Amino acid sequence: VQSQDTIARTAEGGDKLGVFTGAYAMNPVNGESIPVWSANFVLMDYGTGAIMSVPAHDQRDFEFAQKYDLNIRVVIEPPDGTRDPDHLKEAFTEEGPMIQSGGFDGLVGEEARLKVCEYLKTKGIGERTINYRLRDWGVSRQRYWGTPVPMVFCDACGTVPVPYDQLPVELPLDAQLGERGQSPLKTLDSFINTTCPKCNGAAKRETDTLDTFICSSWYFDRYTSPQADDAPFQKKAVDYWMPVDQYIGGIEHAILHLLYSRFFHHVFRDLGLVQSNEPFSHLLTQGMVIKDGAKMSKSKGNVVDPDRIIERYGADTARLFILFAAPPVKDLEWSDQGVEGCSRFLKRVWRLFAELSDSVQGVEPGNGGDALPDELKELRRQTHVTIKRVTEDVEKRMQFNTAIAATMEFINHLYTFKDWWNAQKNASPEHKAVLRQAVESLILVLSPFAPHIAEEMASRLKFSKATHECAWPVFEAQHMQADEMTIVVQVNGKVRQKLSVPSEIADDDLKQQCLGDERVREWLNGKEPRKVIVVPKKLVNIVV
């Protein structure tokens, strides 16, 4: 198995590598034989360094099992009730009742974990333990840039801390940088030679500096009062602003920087310098941009010049691709084809706007009445559904890629609607108001992702404000209801039919309609259903 850094090895979606050892272990609970594999994503310092793979319910294990065609067993029941591993497109990692687990069937979540641990301990084959990830932190560095360690060395007194009234020890400005092999501070006598705070005899300063994390672990506290010259920060200001509402960081700093930041903040709290218990209320850890399967770096020669992309496609295309290519928490695989696709999408948006803009010029947006044609009712519904999806994806989940996908789906619907609209003669003001609302909403939900084209469209429609100054569109639930919905019908977890049913249909009526469908009856082949599971608004799974 290749040697890789920890982040690359344990990342979901990363390349899973493994070798079958030829050995087998025995499951101590049920006595089954289990093949033993060596895998690159299993770390020696996690537990004992050997783990029990559960591919149906761990994404890394799932990817590994699929790659090497290993057995997958569903032991936590998904909402659709399926036990067929072939039905899984990814690991099911949510809570649910245990199945195919002997005496533990039906247990859920923490209760299940406690019962399993209790059983293992009773049988003498395992016990519950806490896995601590905290390690000693070596904070000294042999370089110029960093906070000087406030210690001096005296032959008579030993190691002596610099007195409080002499802090901070500042870096000298006349150090000669660029010499290799040792810290520049080691060669600067004017910095090294000092007097001992205890005996006033000759002493030497520590020439190591503190890790730069010492400075970067509390910078957000300093931001609250950057002009303070008598303290690191003012308590009144830091208590007013902290904790940070939304903290966004990169995956490479997800462990150490956050660990140190919390450590510093807790020390500040214990010293009475800050009031809040935690430095951050919400955290988003971003993935890296990779190309050809590797992290972009100058040394690997796989860096993409954004200026070249902007020069060819424009800033909106570059921005849209970066936001659309992957969820923020996942690595983003750079793709020239993906950039080209985003460029085509924006051109498609512009062509659509050019065709519809004359119809809504000077029109006030509105929802229309109840007597709208079905096409306009559906346009109104799609408008409010899109606003809701984009709003929640951005504000609640920070899933910009799915927000953009919702906008793309809305564009597709507008293209279909356009053909009907162009065939209408003398559209009423009420009808135009619904279309104006749709076009305005499109511009505003697109503006965070493609601000330049959105601003140009807003200008041509004579918006009274710039898009970033406009109120965000608000969805209305009463306009989001469809008269009908499509329900997927599964038999033993496999899709066998799709039915259009009234959107407000009761569960019992829905079950009867599914069981009475001719095609579904063919798949049942005369067998009586053991269970019928309804996932509201989505699917019905018939288990036989």
User: What's the pLDDT tens digit per position in 132-189?
Assistant: 767 777 888 888 989 999 999 999 999 999 999 999 899 999 888 876 667 889 989 9
In a domain, 250, yes or no: yes
Q: Of 210, 235, 252, which marks where a domain is finished? A: 210
From the CB of residue 200, how many other CB atoms can be counted at a distance below 10 Å?
A: 9
Q: For residue 404, give the 3-state DSSP assignment.
A: helix
CA distances (Å), 71 to each of 21, 33, 41, 74, in order? 16, 12, 18, 10
In a domain, 428, yes or no: yes
CA distances (Å), 166 to each of 6, 161, 369, in order? 42, 10, 76
In a shared domain, residues 496 and 461: no
In a domain, 205, yes or no: yes
pLDDT digit string (tens) for 409-425? 999 999 999 999 999 88
| Spatial distance between the Cα atoms of 26 and 17, rounded to a whole number of angstroms | 23
In a shared domain, residues 339 and 460: yes
For residue 213, pLDDT over 60 is answered with yes
Give the pair of three-digit tokens for residue 543.
Answer: 């288990």
Residue scoring higher pLDDT (483 or 512): 512
| Spatial distance between the Cα atoms of 333 and 288, rounded to a whole number of angstroms | 8
pLDDT of residue 34: 94
pTM over 0.85: no
Residue scoring higher pLDDT (183 or 407): 407
**Model confidence at 3, in pLDDT bands (50, 70, 90)?**
low
Candidates 491, 356, 335, 490; CA nearest to 410 is 356
In a domain, 134, yes or no: no
Beta carbons within 8 Å of 359's beta carbon, 6+ residues apart: 421, 427, 432, 435
Q: Report, as an integer, the average pLDDT of 426-450.
A: 96
Provide, rounded to the nearest whole percent, the portion of the chain with pLDDT above 70: 96
State residue 39 phi and psi, 5-degree precision.
-130, 150
In a domain, 297, yes or no: no
| Spatial distance between the Cα atoms of 57 and 235, rounded to a whole number of angstroms | 46
Candidates 286, 288, 264, 284; CA nearest to 276 is 264
pLDDT of residue 1: 47
For residue 223, pLDDT over 90 is answered with yes
pLDDT of residue 13: 59
In a shared domain, residues 74 and 166: no
Candidates 487, 359, 485, 504; CA nearest to 417 is 359
Q: Report, as an integer, the average pLDDT of 11-18.
A: 72
Beta carbons within 8 Å of 96's beta carbon, 6+ residues apart: 76, 77, 78, 79, 108
In a shared domain, residues 360 and 402: yes
CA distances (Å), 500 to each of 19, 380, 537, in order? 49, 20, 11
Number of H helices, E strands in the chain: 17, 17
Q: Report, as an integer, the average pLDDT of 443-463.
A: 97
- The least confident of 11-15, 212-216, 500-504 is 11-15
pLDDT of residue 261: 94
At residue 375's C-alpha, the angle toward residues 479 and 394, to 5°, is 45
- How many structural domains are present in the chain? 5
Q: Report the CATH number at residue 522.
A: 3.10.20.590
| CB-CB contact of 224 with 202 (8 Å) | no
Beta carbons within 8 Å of 148's beta carbon, 6+ residues apart: 168, 169, 170, 171, 185, 205, 206, 209, 210
E-strand stretches of 237-331: 244-250, 280-286, 289-291, 294-295
Candidates 434, 409, 455; CA nearest to 359 is 434
In a shared domain, residues 349 and 471: yes
- The least confident of 81-90, 163-172, 388-397, 465-474 is 81-90
In a domain, 391, yes or no: yes
Q: Report, as an integer, the average pLDDT of 269-274.
A: 97
For residue 443, pLDDT over 90 is answered with yes
In a shared domain, residues 31 and 106: yes
| CB-CB contact of 487 with 498 (8 Å) | yes
Candidates 321, 316, 323; CA nearest to 339 is 321
Supply the mean pLDDT for the chain: 90
Per the structure, the complete domain to which residue 205 belongs is given by: 140-210
Q: Which residue has the tokens 């501070």?
A: 185
| Spatial distance between the Cα atoms of 311 and 314, rounded to a whole number of angstroms | 6
Give the pair of three-digit tokens for residue 230.
Answer: 């008598």
pLDDT digit string (tens) for 308-336? 999 999 999 999 999 999 888 888 889 99
In a shared domain, residues 101 and 232: no
Residue 49's identity, in one-letter code, is: G
Beta carbons within 8 Å of 443's beta carbon, 6+ residues apart: 454, 457, 458, 461, 463, 467
| CB-CB contact of 120 with 126 (8 Å) | yes
Q: Report the CATH number at residue 110.
A: 3.90.740.10
| Spatial distance between the Cα atoms of 413 and 416, rounded to a whole number of angstroms | 5
In a domain, 326, yes or no: no
Give the pair of three-digit tokens for residue 97.
Answer: 């009742």
Q: Report, as an integer, the average pLDDT of 205-228.
A: 94
Beta carbons within 8 Å of 221's beta carbon, 6+ residues apart: 232, 233, 238, 242, 265, 268, 274, 279
In a shared domain, residues 350 and 474: yes
In a shared domain, residues 529 and 446: no
From the CB of residue 257, how many other CB atoms can be counted at a distance below 10 Å?
A: 15
Q: Give the DSSP H or E segment for 25.
A: strand 18-26
Q: Of 247, 267, 286, which marks where a domain is finished? A: 286
In a shared domain, residues 272 and 360: no
In a shared domain, residues 16 and 94: yes
Q: Which residues pair with 490 in a beta bridge?
A: 495, 541
| CB-CB contact of 517 with 508 (8 Å) | no
pLDDT of residue 290: 87
Q: Dihedral of CA 495/500/506/510: which sign?
A: negative
In a domain, 300, yes or no: no
pLDDT of residue 304: 87
Furthest-apart CA atoms within the chain: distance in Å: 100
pLDDT of residue 323: 95
Q: Report, as an integer, the average pLDDT of 187-197.
A: 94
In a shared domain, residues 87 and 223: no
Q: Of 191, 210, 229, which marks where a domain is finished? A: 210
| Spatial distance between the Cα atoms of 62 and 73, rounded to a whole number of angstroms | 10
